[in-house]
Each structure stands twice: as C-alpha cells, then as structure tokens.
Structure 1
Amino acid sequence: MFKTLHGVSTHYCNVLTEVRIAAEAGYDALEFLHYKLLRYLDNGGSTAELKARVDQYGLKVACLNALIDIERYQGEEKTQMLAEAERLTKIAAELDCPTIQILAQHGIDHLPQDQIMDIMTENISQIADIGLEHGVRYQIEVIAHTKFNTLPQALEVIKRIGKPNVGLVIDFWHLWATGTSTPADVAALDPKLIFGVHFCDGRRPKEGEAWEETVLRAYMPGEGDIDVQAWTDAVKSTGFDGCWSAELFSPRCWEMDHKELAQQVIENMAKYTD
C-alpha cells in the first residue's frame, strides 16, 4: 500500500506546494488534479521541473485526475476529447505516472442503456490505445449521479475492451451512493482490475435534494454514513497493495491551513488502513 494525497483534499493548493505538503505529512505519492496541473504547465511550469521536485522529496506521482466527459462521442466534441486524452497521457508519461482517471458525466444520460454502453466501450477503447503507445493505463470511475454509475457496467466495458491498461478505481462514495454495490462485491474483484482506491465518506441525497458533491461528500471518513472500515477491509481482502488516495470533498476543510489538513487526512486514513 502507498498513501496518496488527492488534490481535491487540498483543493486551493497549487501542485508545487502539494508536493512539499505531501512529503511533510508523510504521504508516499500524489494524485494531481488535471486543472491544477494544466494551469501550472500553461503558466510556465514544465513536467521536468515538477518531476524533479517530486523526486527531490522522495515521492511519486500515482495518478492524474482526470480525463473528464469521456462520453463525448460525436464530431468535434469527440475529437477534442481524444486530444485531451493525448495531452494528459503524454504528461503522465513524462511524470512517470502510471495511471490516469477517466470518467463520464451527464452528456449521454438521455440515451438508452445499450447505447451508453456501446459509446463507453468505443471511447475507452480508443483512449486505451493512446495509453498503450505511452505506457499509461486508465482507471474508470463510475459517477453515482450519472447513467454510467455501477460496478457491473464498468466491469462489462473492461471485459468488452479486453486491453490490459483499463481498470477500476474503487471510490467508496460513488459505489456506495448508488445503492447497487457492497463491500462484498469489491471483495470478489480480481485485484489486477483495481488500479486505485479513493478513500472517502459521505451520505446520499435526501428526498428532493440535489446531487451536490460538495454537500454530500463534505465528511471526514468516519463522519458520514458509509461503513468505511468495511469498504477498506473489502479492498484489502483482495490482496490489492497499490495506491490509496485520501479524497476529502469538504469546502469547510478547504479553508484550513493545507499542511494541517493534509496531516489530518492521512492520520484519519491510517486509523482504518494500518
């Protein structure tokens, strides 16, 4: 197991500061948010400089989060999506980062389920081909409030594609919030399909309440409705020993000193994982 600082936990922090904070708080690796990373690069930073900083602190880059809206499947939108995939994949390779997270949002929710599955299969397969050229893999995150939101859907797409660089991230909240997956389902997985874990907590929306993640996920693990220990134990029972990324989606906590926040997050995760 290696413990990773998720960039959403330190939401207002830039990537260079996150590297230092991660080292000082005792993390092993970083999961950079794509918009922070691209902002750094678009404003004069370089992957070589960032990698040197990561190496200086004895860390590694575990994941880039994320290539989003991968459901774009027509015309210029799809061309743009694949261009974004190409750029992020090259950046990941330059950072010696093995994994990019990929996720769909609401762009195809109106379509029949069979068509949704066909689109996701085709798009992810094409993304995977880009990664095969650069030695990069992709972890599918199913988003609870979309129509591509279950573990069986992700597993079916992985089976259809049949490429070694496509797997899963086990995000406790997204899988739990749909009400369709349990720790037992996770425990039954082949650990080779698990590329990462998002260690997190939260609750489901109340009747009539919107799916607003900054509200529903604004809980330190142990404060929400998820049995965090059961999900943790399920992942560990598979034999998975890779990236555990501490993901805290809390506007209140984002206003803390980010070094202190990162320390609290890793100490909290250790209570469940160690």
Structure 2
Amino acid sequence: MSKRNQIVLHALVARYGTLALDLDIAHQIGFDGLEASGAKIRAFMDAGFSPQDLRRLVGDTFIPGIGFLLDVERYGDARKDLLKDAEALTDLAAAIGSKGMQVITGPISLEALDPSSVTRRPDLYRGVVGLPIEEQIDITASGLAAVADIAAQRNLVIYHEALSWTPLNTLDRQLRTIRKAARDNIRLVVDFWHCYTSGDGPEQISRLDKDLIYGVHICDSLPFAGGIPDEPVLRDVETGKGALNLREWVAAVKSTGYNDWWSCELFCNKQHQMNSYDVARDLKTLLQDLVEAP
C-alpha cells in the first residue's frame, strides 16, 4: 500500500533546470516523488541517453505523472497530430515508469478567444472556441477517449486539466466531458489556480468524488476580479502569499476523502531565479503543514 498524502515535487519548481536536477532536488529535500516534465524527459533522451540510462537515473523514484499533452480537443485534420503527440508522450511516460500523464485543453493563446481573430489571424489555433457547449463537450470527450485508449495500452491513467481561459473550464463542464468520454482510466487533477480563475472554489471541490481525483496542484494566485485570466501575470506569486486561503482549499479536497498525492506547481518568476533547493524545501514545508493539518 502506498503512503497516504504523498508530497511530490513539481518540475516547474526548477523551471529552467534538467530532469537530473529535478530528481536530485526531490531526493535531497525528501519529497515522496516527482511530477515530471515530458519536455525535460525528451531533452534527456535527445541528448543521447538510452532508456536504460533514464531508468537508472530515476531509480525507485515515485513518478505519479508527467506533463503534458496540449489541446486534447483537437479534431478534424488536427486529430492525427493529437494522436501522434499522445503516442509520443505515452512512450515517455512508460520509459520513466510514470503512472499517468496530464492532458490539458486549449487553446493556449488568449488571442484565440477574441472573435475578431478569426479574420485577423485565420491560422491561429482556436480549438472549440465559439462552438455550442454540447458540441464543445462532444468533441473534447472524443479526444479524451482516443488519448485514454492509447494510454490504456501502457496501463496509464490520463489526468485532465481544463485551462481556466478555455471553453470547458469549470469543474462541472470537466465532469460532463469526462463522463461523456466514458473511459475507466480518465481522472481529474485539481489545480487551485485554474479552479479559482474559472469561478470554482472550495465548495465545488468538496463535492467531487475522491476516486475521480488524480493529483492536486497546490498553488496560489494574485487577486482576480474576473474576465479572461492572464496566467503569467496572476501566477507570478509565491505559494502561500497570494489571494487564496490555501487551508480552506486543502480542507475542501480532504473532505472528499482524497488522500493521494499533492504537487507544488510554481509560476513565480522570482523563485524560478532563486536557489531551487531552497525554494523546494520551503514548498515542501508549506505543503506538509497544509496537508497534514487535522
């Protein structure tokens, strides 16, 4: 039986570091595992290392998941590229011994949300922006199901995250999409920032089925007054020093009965330029205090 309430390092703590650095930080600071970066794993392999080298580097480190597969709603001619990208990320997840991989909705570009971009930027990826809600759900669920089928061949879970500026951003819409996809290996990662900037909070989180949750991103935000959230601006804050009452958010997750892994995702520019070992140590202390509180 695995340890309850595992505190894992997120690869974004040392955003500009390597996979080897992430693993060393996790070991030296005493994290229970690492939520790894697919890009960092790929960079390691592209440098000429073998799968055996990768497994030796990882050792027995717990890797609950790797991130991330972009634009899971891709359809039409773009569906082939989605499946190709899913195969590639699945290969990386299997190579590192991960239990799952993160999939996220698009579009990444905020400009794609502007209706005038259709004529100004016709080549800009827009995903399901502008389509009726039921069609958005059907298309995204179809993509999720296709990716889940690929992941299932390697006994992997896919954990879904809807970016808060994308159409299916709320927990309710994500749950509807997951139900529509109807695959046993699809889960939901709870990201505090994306929930907050989508209009969801502790009350909505507390109503989730604990068995659907796969991972929690404990993170913070600057105050958000509404509109389209600008992630680089709003997430540029130290965890615990922003607008969120993290104790309430963590308590909401725990009230569901969830007791699996928690990850310290970080977008604070200043901390990305600091000593990553020191930053990780402080984050681990904070997460332990939050998660282990009665």
| 1:75-110 per-position Cα deviation (integer Å, ceiling 9, x unaligned) | 1x2211111101111221232211111011122223
Paired with 2:9 and 2:234, the residues of 1 have a C-alpha distance of 21
CA contact (8 A) 1:16 1:50 kept: no
Paired with 1:211 and 1:117, the residues of 2 have a C-alpha distance of 21
Residue 31 of structure 2 is aligned to residue 27 of structure 1 = yes
* Equivalent position of 2:203 in the other structure: 184
Q: What is the DSSP-based 3-state SS (H/G/I as helix, E as strand, rest coil) of the residue aligned with 2:130?
A: coil
How many angstroms does 1:213 deviate by?
A: 1.8
* Equivalent position of 1:232 in the other structure: 250
Matches within 5 A, 1:55-134: 55=59, 58-75=60-77, 77-106=78-107, 107-134=127-154
Stretches of 4+ aligned residues off by more than 3 angstroms: 204-208
Tell me which amino acid in the other structure corresponds to 1:38.
R
Residue 32 of structure 2 is aligned to residue 14 of structure 1 = no
Q: Alpha carbons of 1:99 and 1:204: their partners in 2 closer, same or farther (altered >3 Å)?
A: farther
TM-score when normalising by structure 2: 0.87
* Number of corresponding residues: 269
Indicate the percent of aligned positions where both proteins have the same amino acid: 30
| 1:128-185 per-position Cα deviation (integer Å, ceiling 9, x unaligned) | 1111111001111011111120101111112122211001000011011111x22122
TM-score when normalising by structure 1: 0.93
CA contact (8 A) 2:7 2:288 kept: no
CA contact (8 A) 1:201 1:223 kept: yes
Tell me which amino acid in the other structure corresponds to 2:101.
I
Q: What is the DSSP-based 3-state SS (H/G/I as helix, E as strand, rest coil) of the residue aligned with 1:196?
A: strand
Paired with 1:33 and 1:41, the residues of 2 have a C-alpha distance of 13
Residue 233 of structure 2 is aligned to residue 215 of structure 1 = yes
Gapped regions of structure 1 (runs ≥ 5): none
Q: Alpha carbons of 1:150 and 1:207: their partners in 2 closer, same or farther (altered >3 Å)?
A: closer
Q: Alpha carbons of 1:265 and 1:47: their partners in 2 closer, same or farther (altered >3 Å)?
A: farther
Tell me which amino acid in the other structure corresponds to 2:93.
A
CA contact (8 A) 1:222 1:228 kept: yes
Paired with 2:148 and 2:61, the residues of 1 have a C-alpha distance of 26
* Equivalent position of 1:164 in the other structure: 184
* Equivalent position of 1:195 in the other structure: 214
